[in-house]
Amino acid sequence: MRYETMVIPIIAFAAGVWLLQQQPVLPPLSWLGWLVPGPVLLVALRGAGRGRCLLRRGITLALALYCGFAWAALFAHVRMGDSLPSEWEGRDIAVLGVVATLPQSYERSVRFEFNVEQVLTPQARVPPRIVLSWWGAGGRDGKAALLPEVHPGERWQFTVRLKRPHGLVNPHGFDYEAWLLERDIRATGYVRPKGQRLLQKGLQTPSYMVERMRETLRGRIQTALADTPAAGVIAALVMGDQRAISPEQWQVFTRTGVNHLMSISGLHVTMLSGLAFALVNFAWRRSARLTLALPAVKAAAVAGLLVAIAYALLAGFAVPAQRTVFMLAVVAAALWLGRATAAREVLAIALLVVLVIDPWSVLAAGFWLSFGAVAIIMLVTTNRLRAEHWLVAWARVQWAVTLALVPVLLALFQQVSLISPLANALAIPLVSLVIVPLALVGVVLPFDGVLHLSQWLMSGCVFVLEWLSALPDAAWEQHAPPTWTVVAALMGTVWLLLPRGFPARWIGVIALLPMVLVVPQPPPEGALRVTVLDVGQGLSVVAQTRSHALLFDTGPGFGPTADSGNRVIVPFLRASGIRRLNAMIVSHDDADHTGGAHSVLQAVPVEGLLTSLPDLDPLLLIGPPEQRCASGQTWTWDGVLFEVLYPDVDTRVAVKLKDNERSCVLKITAAAGSVLIPADIERRGEQTLLATAKEKLHSDVLIAPHQGSRTSSSDAFVKAVAAGKVIFPVGYRNVFKHPHPDVVARYEVLGADLYRTDRHGAVLLEFVSGEIRVSRQREVRRRYWLDAPRSDVADIDFPTFW
């Protein structure tokens, strides 16, 4: 089949799939009827003639585009139909089902995917696949929690409490709800401490058997390697358990550009498949009887494909492994049938199969990195007039992949390693050709020597990578480039990588420049930009003037290695072009305000710290020079006034005072309006403010004190502030049930516009040109899978984009 008749329609199909994933709401299924006219027109236009030929090609591409759109829409309708009804959120439901995946153990809980076979609670409706956390007993006073034991393939009866998929929604942030949708997880929740009953062990279905095998391999590695430095990396390379790699090691791998190697990647799958092909081909040819029964090439092709499938299954069949397996399957089929297949057709077929099986893969970074890297390799290695020395060809591929992935990496992660060619030159052959085969052999042998050897080699590799990572400017970090600059840069890289002799290749360099030079515009002089980030149940606010930036509080921690700092705040600052913080305020000693502070201080230069933390707090030892928040502190940045209104001297030295009542209170006043950030003060603090600074309380925008708790927002305080806009920084279905209905009613009586981060995501306020402009991230980046209150969805019409 020719290039034009196969590859380009598949690309159009992929474009249709991507287009569907950009829609704010799903189109009705009646739209599928528009597929009928396409084939009819193609039949009607049969015959010779250039005009007919061009028209047929145009209709074919349009039909392929629409097929991709319709296919993805059909899948989405089916999957979205499995959502948990809102009326069953937070209620006890008895379910019977099977532990579907390898459980992940945390400090105080075990988390796993669960296939629901039967809902035992009358009238309840539960999606067929959910994620559950099962909390352990104890875990207080410094003691480790006693975690429950669950294994893949076990049938259990649980009483659970569930909620609809709901994640944090911030500019340039990770889309957790899309991630759950791709994995067909339509509810999350936890196991209640009653009604658990193990019904059956070890169900013998292929998927559960694979997961049990992964569990066995993980146990083998944990037993043999224990706490050795690279044990987590070996676990990731053998069975795809990337959670076993520490955050510090991930940071090293990211800064050196070798993070793609530290899992079961397409490269590893290809290497092992090629090794199996070579060994079987060599051995098969030694037997005349076997060769007569089946040609050696066909036998080797089957063996290589089976090895690739087996290894990819250990990784959970992620996109890079999928792409590799499907490509190898096409090559194996071509060898079996004795037909030559062009490399671009192999890649196109793999692309089609991935999208047919998983239309949401276009939302994953691995999809673009995986297919993009292979496409670039094909561009620089195929159709060459003369053969090159292998070392020259390898260097050319390294240079091409490094250059071509720069726009994608900057768009997705806002950073790219500058030393990745050097780091990959060491890591690729060592990891793929030596460490991975040794580790795989080691886990099946009855002795530990080979496994220890693979760990020792990996430790040496990590040591060198750590040294490279510590070099000055090892990685380039910048703002999130605008979409048009990324497209221009991709075109520029392709232009640069065209064969030698192609005229004016230097033009490609010019196309790369906008991606770096077009920077986010700061607010003008005297203006203010305030972003109330969606960090769940907690507070984090970024205030930006023309040449200064301030961070007020750092949100909660999410676990031992994840917090608001590394998951939300630092990515937002980097993508927004904020390279340093002129000040950081940690309002008081409360976990939902200090949880991300350490991560922020590690990642972003901070010039000064204002706080009400206790004197011996560890944060004060690692942070910049600090000052205590005190009423009367003022400063001006770029024509914008910053004032600390609270605590006063008496409050600072008071004994037996709640931490909430020591909170720093900040007011920011720009030409277009003012915002008051009172952190977690309660009624005592509000009374003090009314007595000492009542004339300064009036503000246009108020971040509701203590997330709208009933112990805050007294009538007198609400009336004194008289804010026209009130923001509640609260978590979805939080256990405190913030904001309290009585508090909400007080603000509604005054006619204030109310915003909630659990419903609207991050809230962005622009104080400029005499007005306050408000943007809500769940509306700015509306997608059909994002959970939202029904009142927010009812008035959204499906757009006409043709």
pLDDT value of position 84: 93
Query: Each residue of 713-747: pLDDT tens digit?
Result: 999 999 999 999 999 999 999 999 999 999 999 99
Q: Is there a contact between 523 and 529 (Cβ–Cβ < 8 Å)?
A: yes
List residues bridging with 754 in a β-sheet: 726
Q: How many CB atoms lie within 10 A of CB 510?
A: 11
Q: Is there a contact between 361 and 367 (Cβ–Cβ < 8 Å)?
A: yes
pLDDT value of position 494: 87
Helices (H), 555-713: 564, 570-575, 591-594, 597-603, 618-622, 649-653, 683-692, 694-697
pLDDT value of position 674: 97
Query: Each residue of 240-254: pLDDT tens digit?
Result: 777 788 878 888 988
- Residues 6+ away with beta carbon under 8 Å from 470: none
User: From the centroid of its chain, how far is CA 362?
Assistant: 13
Query: Highest-confidence range of 15-24, 137-146, 504-513, 612-621, by mean pLDDT?
Result: 15-24
Please give the Cα distance from 638 to 117 (Å, whole number). Answer: 61
Residue 798 has pLDDT above 60, yes or no: no
User: From the centroid of its chain, how far is CA 181?
Assistant: 13
pLDDT band at 119 (very low <50, low <70, confident <90, very high): very high
CA neighbor of 244 nearest in space, from 269, 264, 273: 264
Mean pLDDT of the chain: 87
Answer positive or negative: Cα dihedral of 92, 94, 100, 103.
positive
Q: Is there a contact between 715 and 742 (Cβ–Cβ < 8 Å)?
A: no
Q: How many CB atoms lie within 10 A of CB 521?
A: 9
Q: Is there a contact between 427 and 461 (Cβ–Cβ < 8 Å)?
A: yes
Please give the Cα distance from 272 to 276 (Å, whole number). Answer: 6
- Segment 35-59 shows an average pLDDT of 66
pLDDT value of position 319: 62
pLDDT value of position 43: 58
- Residues 6+ away with beta carbon under 8 Å from 736: 537, 707, 709
pLDDT band at 48 (very low <50, low <70, confident <90, very high): low
pLDDT band at 41 (very low <50, low <70, confident <90, very high): low
- Segment 694-719 shows an average pLDDT of 96
pLDDT band at 2 (very low <50, low <70, confident <90, very high): very low
- Segment 754-773 shows an average pLDDT of 95
pLDDT value of position 532: 98
Q: Is there a contact between 332 and 304 (Cβ–Cβ < 8 Å)?
A: yes
pLDDT band at 47 (very low <50, low <70, confident <90, very high): low
pTM over 0.85: yes
Query: Each residue of 171-210: pLDDT tens digit?
Result: 999 999 999 998 889 999 999 988 899 999 888 888 888 8
pLDDT value of position 235: 87
Assign residue 2 a region: left if phi > 0, alpha if psi is -120 to 50, beta otherwise? Answer: beta
Please give the Cα distance from 601 to 622 (Å, whole number). Answer: 8
- Give the percent of the chain with pLDDT over 70: 91
Q: Which two tokens stand for residue 365?
A: 């970074």
- Give the percent of the chain with pLDDT over 90: 49
Please give the Cα distance from 496 to 403 (Å, whole number). Answer: 9
Residue 788 has pLDDT above 80, yes or no: no
CA neighbor of 427 nearest in space, from 253, 272, 275, 221: 253
Residue count of the chain, please give it: 802
Query: Residue 564: which H helix or E strand, with range?
Result: helix 564-564
Between vectors from CA 579 to CA 260 and to CA 522, what angle results, nearest 5°?
120
Q: Which two tokens stand for residue 409?
A: 């990496």
- Residues 6+ away with beta carbon under 8 Å from 141: none
Query: Each residue of 271-295: pLDDT tens digit?
Result: 788 888 889 988 998 888 888 888 8
Query: Residue 71: which H helix or E strand, with range?
Result: helix 50-80
- Segment 791-795 shows an average pLDDT of 37
pLDDT value of position 22: 93
- Segment 349-357 shows an average pLDDT of 87
pLDDT value of position 3: 41
pLDDT value of position 801: 26
pLDDT value of position 790: 43
CA neighbor of 76 nearest in space, from 359, 339, 416, 274: 359
Residue 144 has pLDDT above 70, yes or no: no
**Higher pLDDT among residues 219 and 32, named by residue:** 219
**Higher pLDDT among residues 49 and 147, named by residue:** 147
